[in-house]
């Protein structure tokens, strides 16, 4: 312990003597590190290399006369659809048919609990019996008075009073009989019946549910006449008229085509979509056409040889104004060019103004560009194009 005690004070004195030297070396190293960092920062302060031009598929607008027909998507619907409802309110006791069931005229679809209505019918029958008894009594009284008047045993006023009482009793009997018939009808109304042959497309009530009179319970579609219902844009309304022919194809199987013609066009636009509901009747529907299927209706395009067509992917819709990116062949920059769209089709837009057939356009990726951006034009096969030499 005595030896150890003498070593540590010696080490401590040695370190104290070398502190200035250690501090000087540390400071020099720190200054060298800071200087090197500043030099590196100054050397790296140059602007970063510009990004290479973005490749873009380009092309030119094509004549609209070579484009496809105007196509709208719609749904197969029945021309005649009946919304069935009870004529009296009550609790549904039984529901006898499900969605998709076929019906014949008079088939019962659902039944209400008719306990209260049966009691009203019994009360009406009792009222008729009472009124009939009163009428029989009044008739007997009048016949008696009539016989006594012939023998001058009653006054004429008494005879007339008996005649009036008989007429009143007959009227009360007729009233009771009418109420009996009404009560019987109320009991019959507890059964919801199909009014025609068809198929149930919707059912909106279940057993145990309490419904009001007139509340829609089921929708019965008469599937002998089928139609395609679709929406017409406001800008295209003037192009179509009732009786105009069209071609229908099913989304599930477009190998078979059907003929049809416009039967009706709604006179007012729907509040939400601002489109006009139109219906095309199928004139040669077969068993493959089922209610609710998605269908496409194609109409022959007008002869628009002076118009151009571009793919929908070339349309830039910012600010709700249709536009395309037109390319400067010399600089490779893109510039937004507003256009007038005459018709929207399934895969392309028909352009009525704002373009020429010689303009080069960005066909794919219009939403990813900005004004003045330099692009590297390529064709659909990703091969470079030299627009300036075209």
Is residue 88 a contact partner of residue 192, using CB atoms and an 8 Å limit?
Answer: no
The string of pLDDT tens digits covering residues 312-343 is 889 987 667 889 999 998 888 999 999 988 87
User: Does this chain's domain 56-66+304-389 share its CATH topology with 71-77+221-299?
Assistant: no
User: Which residues make Cβ contacts (< 8 Å) with residue 290, sequence separation at least 6?
Assistant: 76
CATH numeric code, 56-66+304-389: 2.40.420.20
The string of pLDDT tens digits covering residues 198-222 is 999 999 999 999 999 999 999 999 8
| Cα–Cα distance measured from residue 313 to residue 364, given in angstroms and rounded to the nearest whole number | 5
Q: Are strands 323-327 and 334-338 parallel, antiparallel or unpaired?
A: antiparallel
Residue 1 confidence (pLDDT): 41
Residue 129 confidence (pLDDT): 96
CATH numeric code, 114-189: 1.10.287
Is residue 269 a contact partner of residue 225, using CB atoms and an 8 Å limit?
Answer: no
**Hey, where are the domains in the chain?**
1-42, 56-66+304-389, 71-77+221-299, 114-189
- What element of type H or E holds 198? strand 198-203
**Which CATH superfamily groups domain 71-77+221-299?**
Efflux pump adaptor protein, beta barrel domain (2.40.30.170)
Ordered mean pLDDT values, 10 residues apiece, the chain (390 residues):
42 52 60 63 56 84 71 92 94 93 93 94 96 92 85 84 91 95 95 92 92 94 91 88 93 88 93 91 89 90 72 81 89 90 80 88 85 88 78
- 8: buried, middle or exposed (CB in 10 Å: 19+, 13-18, 0-12)? exposed
């Amino acid at each position: 312990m005595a030896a150890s005690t003498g070593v540590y004070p010696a080490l401590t004195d040695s370190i104290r003597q070398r502190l200035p030297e250690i501090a000087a070396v540390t400071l020099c190293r720190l200054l060298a590190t800071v200087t090197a960092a500043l030099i590196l920062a100054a050397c790296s302060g140059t602007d970063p290399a510009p990004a290479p031009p973005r490749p873009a598929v380009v092309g030119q607008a094509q004549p609209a006369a070579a484009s496809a027909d105007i196509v709208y998507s719609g749904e197969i619907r029945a021309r005649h659809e009946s919304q069935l409802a009870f004529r009296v309110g009550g609790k549904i006791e039984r529901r006898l048919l499900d969605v998709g069931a076929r019906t014949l005229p008079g088939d019962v679809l659902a039944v209400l609990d008719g306990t209260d209505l049966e009691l009203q019918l019994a009360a009406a029958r009792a009222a008729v019996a009472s009124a009939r008894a009163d009428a029989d009594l009044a008739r007997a009284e009048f016949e008696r008075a009539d016989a006594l008047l012939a023998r001058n045993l009653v006054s004429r006023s008494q005879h007339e009073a008996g005649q009036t009482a008989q007429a009143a009793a007959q009227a009360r009997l007729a009233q009771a009989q009418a109420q009996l018939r009404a009560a019987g009808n109320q009991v019959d109304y507890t059964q919801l019946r199909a009014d025609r042959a068809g198929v149930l497309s919707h059912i909106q009530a279940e057993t145990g549910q309490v419904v009001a009179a007139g509340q829609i319970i089921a929708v019965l579609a008469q599937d002998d006449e089928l139609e395609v219902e679709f929406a017409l844009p406001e800008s295209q309304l003037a192009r179509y008229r009732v009786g105009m022919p069209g071609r229908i194809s099913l989304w599930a199987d477009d190998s078979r085509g059907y003929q049809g013609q416009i039967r009706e066009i709604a006179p007012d636009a729907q509040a939400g979509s601002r489109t006009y509901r139109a219906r095309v009747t199928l004139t040669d529907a077969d068993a493959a056409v089922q209610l609710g299927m998605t269908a496409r209706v194609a109409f022959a395009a007008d002869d628009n040889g002076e118009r151009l067509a571009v793919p929908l992917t070339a349309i830039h819709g910012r600010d709700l104004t249709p536009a395309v990116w037109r390319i400067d062949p010399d600089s490779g920059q893109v510039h937004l060019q507003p256009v007038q769209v005459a018709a929207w089709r399934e895969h392309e837009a028909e352009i009525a103004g704002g373009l020429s057939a010689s303009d080069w356009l960005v066909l794919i990726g219009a939403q990813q560009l900005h004004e003045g951006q330099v692009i590297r034009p390529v064709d659909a096969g990703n091969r470079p194009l030299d627009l300036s030499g075209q």
